[in-house]
Amino acid sequence: MLWSKQYAEFGLSDIYEKVQNGERLSYEDGMRLFECKNPLAVGALAFSMRLRLHGKNTYFVRNRHINYSNICLINCLFCAFRRKENEEGAFTQTHETILEKVCADDGIPFAEVHVVGGCHPTLRLSWFEELFKKILIARPKAVIKAFTAMEIAYFAKQEKCSVLEVLERLKLSGLSMLTGGGAEIFEPVLRKYLCPNKISADEYLSIHGTAHSLGLKSNCSMLFGHIENFAQRVDHLCRLREQQDKSGGFVCFIPLPYLPQNNELSGEYQEKLAKIFDNAQFKNNSDVHMGLERLRTIAIARLMLDNIPHIKAYWVMLGVKTAQAALAFGADDLDGTIVEEHIGHMAGANSSQALTRTELEQMIKDSGLTPVSRDPLFRKTAQ
């Protein structure tokens, strides 16, 4: 661990003191951390905060991802998952198929069933209400974590009702938590380029606030490494922190690196837009540099989000090795067994489809940390 005098060499002695004293970092502090020439120093500071919050406890969950469909009416430039109806590669799973997957390996006590897809043109809210009830009959001890804020807004539009009513209905059918996806990057001009048909940042935050008011918890996220700059990352983190001050229901922050394969944003178009928006990542886009910047972003998230308990190193999109390294940069959670995942892998994730409980535990132990099995709400479960 670096000491205060060593942080003075990087111009971070005041930030070091704030972190050690449990004081909130400012937007300007966040920018200075991104501009620091030594990302390892930033990582060490984040690790010290992580140790203060969680000790060596490092979390994982036995979970099953269900991507119910990739048919979606919303066209986001960065998305490799989305298909039009009747397009090659489009799929929609039936209740029966989903339940077969949920019930597979019946001896494994999944703590979480994670359900997410897109804005499907014909699937209605009642279809999901029925599905959730069936899942809980099949897996009565599982917690259902489902849907992005965009999906919730879409259901409200379909049903011609309020977001509150949608969430109340889903809660009655068994929903416990929102996934937190779909935040992307909050800066409005960038959103017009990246996902012009998606809900605004204000709507995303409002939907999560409404969920929290009903006692539902949620994760939150940020998609980074595309055309945004450091200032926009810090702004995004500050807005999540402000919402948490208001509603208090965010359990975990998920930093999601942009994966460039099989989508409209990748290649020359991404580089052109990134330069327009002054994205510093294109000054050096080597694998080593990009890996360090991903780790730095995770570390800064830990330091800025003082009121969000957990930071996830999502191994599916980071890759196993980077996710493991992130445990030394402030992350305290690896997500889980997953079993089957489409969204990240269709965008070029080269990680496996699943990890076993033993593999997750070994990743944590090899980092000198203590594995803790959890449910989606970070309640400890039997190992």
Amino acid (one-letter) located at 182: G
**373 backbone dihedrals φ, ψ, rounded to 5°:** -75, 135
DSSP 181-241: TT-----HHHHHHH-TTSPPHHHHHHHHHHHHHTT-EEEEEEEESSS--HHHHHHHHHHHH
Amino acid (one-letter) located at 164: L
- Does 76 carry a binding-site annotation? yes
Alpha-carbon distances of 21 from 18, 39, 96, rounded to whole Å: 5, 21, 53
**67 backbone dihedrals φ, ψ, rounded to 5°:** -90, 100
- Does 238 carry a binding-site annotation? no
- The rounded radius of gyration (Å) of the Cα atoms in the chain is 20
Residue 326, H or E segment: helix 320-326
d(CA 288, CA 228): 19
d(CA 78, CA 278): 18
d(CA 231, CA 378): 31
**Whether 251 contacts 217, CB under 8 Å:** yes
- Does 103 carry a binding-site annotation? no
- Does 195 carry a binding-site annotation? no
**Nearest residue to 194 (alpha-carbon basis) of 232, 154, 244:** 232
Give the number of residues written for the chain: 383
List the structure tokens of 283: 């000054």
Angle of CA points 101, 70, 259, to nearest 5°: 100
Binding site residues for [4Fe-4S] cluster, as ranges? Answer: 72, 76, 79
Binding site residues, as ranges? Answer: 72, 76, 78-79, 184
Binding site residues for S-adenosyl-L-methionine, as ranges? Answer: 78, 184
